[in-house]
Structure 1
Amino acid sequence: MDRVTAARVFNRICELGSLSAASRALGISRPMVSRYLEQMEQWAGARLIHRTSRRLTLTPAGEEILLKTRHLIQLAQEIEQRNQQNEPSGVLRVACAHLTASCIIGPIVADFLARYPAVRLELDVNNHPINLVSERIDVAVRITNNPEPGTIARRLGECRSVLCASPDYLARHGIPQKPADLANHNCLHYSRFAGQNWHFSSAQEGDISVEISGNFSATISTVLLDAAVAGCGIAMVPEMEAREALAQRSVVSLLADYEPARLAIYGMYLSREYQPGGLRPFLDLLEKTLSKP
């Protein structure tokens, strides 16, 4: 049992003069009050209260322990208040991919550090799977529909993709009219996936999966977008990354009636307890930012 709670129950018994009154005041059962009193007596190694049918009286040991438990409860309250009042502090180590760093986390860094100046944010940017324990990572922010097993995955938002190609490539190879047409095009894809299928949804046709192939792959979407801009083929990349190239007409969006499957954005960590002070506000700010249109 929690010894601080046992001390609180013991103090309440002494204040109110009965176990039943303490039970009503604390909102716990009468047997539970008795168990906490037994815990205190086992902890003290002495009988603390004389019980009679009419009243309870403190033993000499009980009087001594009552003074000590009052100090213990006061100390516990001070610690709880300090924890509630303190601003987040300490080191927060975050792992993410290059896209996530530049398009999702990068834009909130200044705001986060201004709000929580006592937090030191360390960003580990890589596109490879990591071990949260061995690499001392507090949270990994990933774009995926399959969060890593064994982690607590908090959904922060979603990532939309866009199918795009340069005007030059389309002038040479034609414009696909439906997902099946992609079989006749050079599709630039992520290299870490064994099978290459692009997924779409359509109001008329529902979910569609298309097998694609191409002569170039990369682990980083930025490189795929650059290749698409250079006229190498058709790429499916995150919309947030392609926004500038689309605005400049370096690439154009394709298959307007077919939406590429959306991916979730997760914050993945190992424990709900003993978290770094900055973890929750960091994820809260990310979720708030990603929820904006």
Structure 2
Amino acid sequence: MGTNSFLKVLPEMVTFLRVAELGSFSAAADLLGMTPSAASRQVKRLEKEIGVQLLQRTTRQLRLTEPGTEAFARCRELVLAAQGTMEIGQQYAKKPSGRVRISAPRAFARRVLHPLILSFLARYPEVDVQLIVEDRDIDPIQEGVDLVVRLTPNPPEGLVARRLMMVEHILVASPGYLASGAAIHHPRDLGAHRCISLGEHERDNRWRFKRGDEEAEIVVQGRYIANHTEIRLDAARSGLGVACLQMFVAQQALDEGSVTRVLPEWEFQGNYRGHAWILYPPSRFTVPKCQVLIDHLLDALATGRGKKLNASSTRRAPPRATN
């Protein structure tokens, strides 16, 4: 291939990238505004120019060949560079403007992000925000999202990761429930109580705790299992038992007194511990509209609100009721 001959297949590289990302000629064609047959012809033309097969085509799926995998990585770099070039003008704009698309898990989006986005919109009137609430992992490059919030101990490679806050898990129950049952001073006391657990995996009913050098593990049981944090919170408020929740979900109920923290001196070693991270594609430049939102979230969560969402409540379980 000549020095400048790659210029004539730049569109074909973009089409190949989208086909490989989406695993479908039809889906890529819809995204690019062409027919599936046109998308197929462009990929074949690219393969002819390069001289190797990039995709293995079957009636059920598309699969990258070994050279196709390398070409995919190079084409992705090319598209990212092109997107960065198109955004250079915004780097020098006096005011951040435009729309930022940000995704986050449901509970975190509702309890943490939403209030902060409201204050952000008031502060930056030229920037709009589209909040995409999804519990699944979203690929910002493939799905066209500017920023992604993910709760994990290990952020994925290939993306810039900024830590927003620690995600602390705690136990709560209603004051009425705690007053009517056996006192809970040690994790082993949970064996005599109804516990509201996640229930997505068998290990979710094995609750582990740590206090200094002391560790404890207890198999819990209860009448209600739910894989949604807001539902577990509501069940705890209703007196159904002791629920495991993220601190940011339970904080308002703790402040209101509708639930009380259980075993506050023990660290709950949940299966989903970690931090909340804000993720975005690597680039030499971060466009102003994204940068100001990132900075706003980091500043807010590093100060009062972030500390409150992870602060240990001083509200203790009431003493056991006596007859």
1:266 corresponds to which residue?
277
CA deviations on 1:192-223 (whole Å, 9 max, x unpaired) are 44521434331352x54444343433332111
Task: Give the Å deviation of 1:286.
Answer: 1.1
d(CA) in 2 for partners of 1:194, 1:272: 41
- Kindly indicate whether the alpha-carbon contact (under 8 Å) linking 1:138 and 1:276 is maintained by their aligned counterparts in 2: no
Q: Could you tell me which amino acid in structure 2 is paired with residue 270 of structure 1?
A: P
Q: Could you tell me which amino acid in structure 2 is paired with residue 198 of structure 1?
A: W
d(CA) in 2 for partners of 1:175, 1:130: 43
1:53 corresponds to which residue?
none
- Kindly indicate whether the alpha-carbon contact (under 8 Å) linking 2:149 and 2:276 is maintained by their aligned counterparts in 1: yes
1:106 corresponds to which residue?
114
CA deviations on 1:15-58 (whole Å, 9 max, x unpaired) are xxxxxxxxxxxxxxxxxxxxxxxxxxxxxxxxxxxxxxxxxxxx
Is 1:176 the counterpart of 2:176 in the alignment? Answer: no
Q: How does 1:168-207 map to 2 (within 5 A)?
A: 168-196=176-204, 197-205=206-214, 207=215
3-state SS in 1 of match to 2:149:
strand
Q: Tell me, which stretches of 5 or more residues in structure 1 are unaligned?
A: 1-78
2:227 corresponds to which residue?
219
- Kindly indicate whether the alpha-carbon contact (under 8 Å) linking 1:93 and 1:124 is maintained by their aligned counterparts in 2: yes
1:139 corresponds to which residue?
147
Task: Give the Å deviation of 1:274.
Answer: 5.5
- Return closer, same or farther for 1:209/1:88 CA change in 2, 3 Å cut-off: farther
Is 1:279 the counterpart of 2:290 in the alignment? Answer: yes
- Kindly indicate whether the alpha-carbon contact (under 8 Å) linking 2:91 and 2:285 is maintained by their aligned counterparts in 1: no
Task: Give the Å deviation of 1:186.
Answer: 2.4
Task: Give the Å deviation of 1:150.
Answer: 4.2
d(CA) in 1 for partners of 2:172, 2:90: 53
d(CA) in 2 for partners of 1:278, 1:236: 37
Q: Could you tell me which amino acid in structure 2 is paired with residue 167 of structure 1?
A: P
2:241 corresponds to which residue?
233
- Return closer, same or farther for 1:146/1:188 CA change in 2, 3 Å cut-off: farther
- Kindly indicate whether the alpha-carbon contact (under 8 Å) linking 1:166 and 1:252 is maintained by their aligned counterparts in 2: yes
Is 1:92 the counterpart of 2:103 in the alignment? Answer: no
d(CA) in 1 for partners of 2:217, 2:94: 51
d(CA) in 1 for partners of 2:291, 2:185: 45
d(CA) in 1 for partners of 2:170, 2:207: 11
Query: Which structure has the larger Rg over C-alpha atoms?
Result: 1
RMSD: 2.8
Q: Tell me, which stretches of 5 or more residues in structure 2 are unaligned?
A: 1-86, 308-323
Task: Give the Å deviation of 1:272.
Answer: 3.1
Q: Could you tell me which amino acid in structure 2 is paired with residue 280 of structure 1?
A: Q
d(CA) in 2 for partners of 1:138, 1:171: 48
3-state SS in 2 of match to 1:146:
coil
- Kindly indicate whether the alpha-carbon contact (under 8 Å) linking 1:92 and 1:276 is maintained by their aligned counterparts in 2: no
- Kindly indicate whether the alpha-carbon contact (under 8 Å) linking 2:182 and 2:192 is maintained by their aligned counterparts in 1: no
- Return closer, same or farther for 1:267/1:80 CA change in 2, 3 Å cut-off: closer
- Kindly indicate whether the alpha-carbon contact (under 8 Å) linking 2:229 and 2:245 is maintained by their aligned counterparts in 1: yes
- Return closer, same or farther for 1:192/1:288 CA change in 2, 3 Å cut-off: farther
CA deviations on 1:66-89 (whole Å, 9 max, x unpaired) are xxxxxxxxxxxxx98973453222
- Kindly indicate whether the alpha-carbon contact (under 8 Å) linking 2:90 and 2:288 is maintained by their aligned counterparts in 1: no
- Return closer, same or farther for 1:146/1:193 CA change in 2, 3 Å cut-off: farther
d(CA) in 1 for partners of 2:113, 2:184: 34
d(CA) in 2 for partners of 1:101, 1:95: 8
Q: How does 1:4-83 map to 2 (within 5 A)?
A: 83=91
From 107, 125, 132, the equivalent of 2:133 is 125
- Kindly indicate whether the alpha-carbon contact (under 8 Å) linking 2:235 and 2:241 is maintained by their aligned counterparts in 1: yes
d(CA) in 2 for partners of 1:291, 1:201: 26
- Return closer, same or farther for 1:213/1:276 CA change in 2, 3 Å cut-off: farther
- Kindly indicate whether the alpha-carbon contact (under 8 Å) linking 2:137 and 2:150 is maintained by their aligned counterparts in 1: no
How many pairs are equivalent?
Answer: 214
Task: Give the Å deviation of 1:129.
Answer: 2.8
Task: Name the TM-score, length of structure 1 as normaliser.
Answer: 0.63
